[in-house]
Amino acid sequence: MGILEDLNLPTGVIYGDDVLKLFTYAREKGFAIPAVNVTSSSTVVAALEAARDARAPIILQTSQGGAAYFAGKGVKNSAEKQEASVVGAIAAAHYIRSIAPLYEIPVVLHTDHCAKKLLPWLDGMLEEDEKFFKQNGIPLFSSHMIDLSEEPVDENISTCVSYLKRMAPMKQWLEMEIGITGGEEDGVDNSGVDNAALYTQPEDIWKIEQAFRPVSKYFSIAAGFGNVHGVYAPGNVRLHPELLGKHQAYVSEKLGGTDKKPVFFVFHGGSGSSKEEYLEAISNGVVKVNVDTDMQWAYLTGIRDYITKNIDYLKTQVGNPEGPNKPNKKKYDPRVWIREGEKTMSARVAVCLQDFKTAGTL
């Protein structure tokens, strides 16, 4: 018994009620799903391979910068239109939708950290979602994330509600952030914020639940409990995942029902955290953990080690330690050295699947 049989989920990219069923099941069973930022077909493949081999679901997400990279660094990406980010995200979505069924696992197709200045990016993707929904009965993306954590709380909530109303007819999931995630990632630098801003208050979680629930049940909250993007020396980041348990208790009491964990929480800035911190957060209702920085490092190490090991074969097209006329094409073919990065990244995703208790859940 597992996700596919218990929930009757399809494989490939999932939407709407299937996403809700998956997150509900994860919260009930005590596991979370790694969310891997992808910037190319290569990183997509690395994540999918790990999830397939571990018999686990996976979340693939593109950031605004990652989506633009998917389209090409030489493509214009104006602040007003975000055209490269829009088209790159759409291209990534179609690619993932095309190949995900081959891996025979459920995949949540998500977009990450849309700040206020990046809302044109979200608008462009939602236009494509609505067009796709009209033709196919499902949106193109499973879910989107809006990050207005730097804005006043009431503005954050009201803006998110306006987008949730647009997404609700498509049963599309919305992830929102309340409480700032520190550090720096993908051009968003919160390294100098007041420490108090890293911790969300339970009253704010309740405000969100009150505003969102009448509109849609397809939403989650990235609450701050000391989270920081990136990886830092031990002791520099103080996480308090126990706060999420207090938020759950507060909302549960306000709702007055029997559900002790009514909120779907998201763990941002997961890279570099301890397994114990992950597990405590998961026990308090975290169903999704973002792990971008660790994946970037893992991808690099495979390529770095390959080049270091084979450096004498990579200086010229012809000529190596085996002879001056020996060709080196088999060593410098991109399919060889890029594949090494895929393998090390895939192995790192596999560690997350084990640590978050996602492995073997299918």
Answer yes or no: is 291 a known binding residue.
yes
Q: Is residue 132 part of a domain?
A: yes
Q: Is residue 278 part of a domain?
A: yes
The structure tokens listed for 131 are 């067009």
Answer yes or no: is 230 a known binding residue.
yes
Q: How far is CA 306 from CA 243, 312, 314, in A?
A: 43, 11, 10
Cβ atoms of 264 and 287 closer than 8 Å: yes
Answer yes or no: is 292 a known binding residue.
yes
Longest dimension (CA), the chain: 79
Answer yes or no: is 290 a known binding residue.
yes
The predicted pLDDT at position 271 comes to 63
Q: Is residue 360 part of a domain?
A: no
- Domain of 78, CATH number, reads 3.20.20.70
186 is annotated as an active-site residue: no
Cβ atoms of 39 and 342 closer than 8 Å: no
Q: What is the DSSP string of 190-251?
A: ETTS-GGGGB--HHHHHHHHHHHTTT-S-EEEEE-BS-BSS---TTS----THHHHHHHHHH
Q: Is residue 40 part of a domain?
A: yes
353 backbone dihedrals φ, ψ, rounded to 5°: -60, -35
To which residue do tokens 């088209």 refer?
A: 87
Confidence label for 270 from pLDDT (cuts 50, 70 and 90): low
Which residues span the domain enclosing 140?
3-292
Answer yes or no: is 113 a known binding residue.
yes
Burial class (CB in 10 A: 0-12, 13-18, 19+), 197: middle
Nearest to 10 by CA among 54, 57, 59: 57
User: Which SS3 state, helix, strand or coil, does residue 174 take?
Assistant: strand
The predicted pLDDT at position 182 comes to 42
Q: Is residue 26 part of a domain?
A: yes
pLDDT in tens, 178-215: 975 544 444 444 444 444 556 788 999 999 999 999 99
Burial state string for 220-250 with b = 16 or more CB within 10 A and e = fewer than 16: bbbbbbbbbbbbeeeeebebbbebbbebbeb
Answer yes or no: is 293 a known binding residue.
yes
Cα 292 to Cα 296: distance, rounded to the nearest angstrom: 6
What is the residue-averaged pLDDT of the chain?
91
Catalytic residue among 112, 204, 294, 355, which? 112
Total number of domains constituting the chain:
1
Predicted TM-score (pTM) of this structure: 0.92
Cα 343 to Cα 3: distance, rounded to the nearest angstrom: 26
Q: Is residue 349 part of a domain?
A: no
Answer yes or no: is 242 a known binding residue.
no
Confidence label for 232 from pLDDT (cuts 50, 70 and 90): very low
pLDDT in tens, 59-75: 999 999 999 999 999 99
Interval 72-92 mean pLDDT? 97
Q: Is residue 361 part of a domain?
A: no
Q: Is residue 93 part of a domain?
A: yes
